[in-house]
Structure 1
Amino acid sequence: MATKSFVNLYGGVYEHSPWIAERLAEGGISLALDDPKTLASAMQVVVERATRDEKLALLRAHPDLAGKLALADLTTSSRDEQQGAGLDQCSAKELARFSELNDAYKGKFGFPFIFAVKGYHRRDILAAFERRVNNDIETEFNEALQQVHRIALMRLQAL
C-alpha cells in the first residue's frame, strides 16, 4: 500500500494524530501488518518511541467524555463510541458530575480523561473516572496512553 493511502486509511485511528500512521509508513509497510492486532502493536511502538511532548499532544487531542454539547465536536469514531456507552443520555446529575470531573482532571493532569468506552456503561465509566482522578501524574499519564492504545485497536478491528 502506498504511504498516502495508508495514512488516509489509518491516520485517524489515533485521535487527530495522523503522524503515527505517517511514521509507521516511513519505516516501511509490509504484509506482516495486515492484521489489526499486529498493526496496532506496530502503531503502539511508534507512540512509545515518541517524545513526552508528542505523547502529551496525543492525549490532548482526545475529547472530553459525556455531554450533548461535547458530542457536537467529536470525530465520527468518538461520537459513535460515546453514544454506544450511553454518554449522550446522561441525566442532569450525571452530566454535572462528568463536567466537574472533567474540569478537575484536566486541571490536575493537563489532558482530558481518556477511557476506551466500548463495552462499558456510563455508570462504569463514571466510577473509573472517580477512581482515576486520584492517581498521581505518572500513573495517570501511562494509564491514559494505555486507554488510547485500546481505542486504536478497537478502531483497527472495526476497519
Structure 2
Amino acid sequence: MKTTMSDSRIALNELNGMEEERFVRLLGAVFEHSPWVASAAFARRPFENLAELHEAMMGAVLSSSDDTVLQFLCAHPELAGREMQEGKLTENSSLEQARAGLDALAPEEFRCLNSLNAEYRARHGFPFIACVRHYTKEGIFYELSRRLDRSTAEERRTALEQIAAISRIRLEALVRDE
C-alpha cells in the first residue's frame, strides 16, 4: 500500500512491537465499547497484514461464550437511538450515523426508526446492527424492516457479519498495512 507523508495511520510493524496497554488504547475503540477484543488479539502478534489482525480480533469475539457475545452485541448503540439523542455515541458511531443521515431525520422518520428499533430489540434481545456505510438512509429502514422477522440465530450471525464490516473499515482508518 502506498502512503503519503500526511498518512497518520500507524504502521502495522509498529503496532506489532508495542506494549499491550498502548495496543489496546489504539485499537480498543474498533469494536464498540469492547477493548477486551483488542486485548485478546494482542496475544496473537505479530500480524503479517491487516487481514490477519482483523481475523484475530474477530476470532476473539467468535470464540467467546454465547453470553459474552450477547453482551458484546448489546454494547452497540441503536441507530438514531437514545445514545445519539443524549450525545453519548462513540466518536466512530457518531460519524458513521451522521454520514448515513441518521442525525438529521424528519420527526416521522425518527418515530418510525425508534419503533422499529424497539420491535427489533424486543424480538432478538440486542440492537439492530448494520454497517451504515454500506447503506443509504432508505436502505437502513428497508434492511431493519426486512430483518425483523428473521430468526434470532440468523440475526445474531448477520449482526456479527455487519460488525466484521464495521471493524474492518475502522481498522483500515487506523493501521497502515506495511
Fold match (TM-score > 0.5): yes
Kindly report which structure 2 residues correspond to 1:109-120, keeping only aligned pairs within 5 A, or say none: 109-120=124-135
Q: TM-score, normalised by structure 2?
A: 0.83
- What's 1:2 paired with? 19
- What's 1:146 paired with? 161
- Aligned AA (2:148): V
1:98 aligns with 2:77: no
- What's 1:63 paired with? 77
Gaps of 5+ in 1: none
Q: Which has the higher contact order (CA 8 A, sep 6+)?
A: 2
- What's 1:87 paired with? 102
- What's 2:53 paired with? 39
Kindly report which structure 2 residues correspond to 1:17-56, keeping only aligned pairs within 5 A, or say none: 17-25=34-42, 27-32=43-48, 35-56=49-70
Tell me the SS of whatever aligns to 1:45: helix
- What's 1:15 paired with? 32
User: Relative to total residues, which structure has the larger helix share, 1 or 2?
Assistant: 1
Answer with 111-120 or 67-76: which moved more. 67-76
Cα distance, 1:45 vs. partner? 1.0
- Aligned AA (2:61): V
CA contact (8 A) 2:84 2:94 kept: no
Cα distance, 1:44 vs. partner? 0.9
Gaps of 5+ in 2: 1-17
Number of residue equivalences: 156
Change (3 A) 1:41 1:31: closer
Cα distance, 1:37 vs. partner? 2.5
CA contact (8 A) 2:28 2:34 kept: yes
Greater Rg, structure 1 or structure 2? 2
Structure-2 separation of matches of 1:112 and 1:100: 12
Cα distance, 1:69 vs. partner? 6.4
